[in-house]
Amino acid sequence: EVWRQVSVALVVFILPLADTTTVSINRIWRGRSPFIGGKDHTTHHLSYAGLTDPQVAMAFGGLGLVSAFLAVIAYRYIPVWHTWHTLLYLGYALAVFSFLFGLTKRRGIDRPL
């Protein structure tokens, strides 16, 4: 049950965790403080990639709905939690983080330094 709880907590909070981690890593790599605001959050990078503000909101809302759906599935429809469930949920979280982090590393996007 502990792995179910950890997996679901990670999936539910993956968007703010991925954004905060990505911003902190990138700012530290550039020699900047992670505690001073900027326009380098993952939502900004989605805009720099060409998405409109409503599309960015839809993308994050969609990922949030998928995460909520996975949380409901974990507790309502999976009576016995197995290792492969943990791997599946952690894989989803890693995929979301990798996509958002990778988005901040794309070259050729018109964005402020």
> What confidence tens digit (pLDDT) does each residue in 27-40 have?
999 999 999 988 88
Contact 71, 9 (CB under 8 A): no
- Residue 101: name the closest of 34, 35, 5, 15 by CA: 15
Whether the pLDDT of residue 11 is over 60: the answer is: yes
> 15: Cβ–Cβ under 8 A, 6 or more apart, which residues?
60, 63, 64, 67, 96
Per-residue pLDDT reduced to its tens digit, 51-92:
999 999 999 999 999 999 999 999 999 999 999 999 999 999
**pLDDT score recorded for residue 109:** 56
**pLDDT score recorded for residue 55:** 96
**pLDDT score recorded for residue 46:** 93
**pLDDT score recorded for residue 107:** 66
**Number of independent structural domains in the chain:** 1
Per-residue pLDDT reduced to its tens digit, 89-112:
999 999 999 999 999 988 655 555
Residue 110 located in a structural domain:
no
Domain assignment of residue 43, given as a range: 2-103
Residue 77 located in a structural domain:
yes
Q: How far apart are CA 76 and CA 33, in angstroms?
A: 42
**pLDDT score recorded for residue 110:** 54
Q: What is the dihedral of CA 35, 38, 40, 41, to 10 degrees?
A: 70
Residue 8 located in a structural domain:
yes
Residue 64 located in a structural domain:
yes
**pLDDT score recorded for residue 25:** 94
Residues 94, 17, 13, 1: is their CA dihedral positive or negative? positive
| DSSP 3-state of 60 | helix
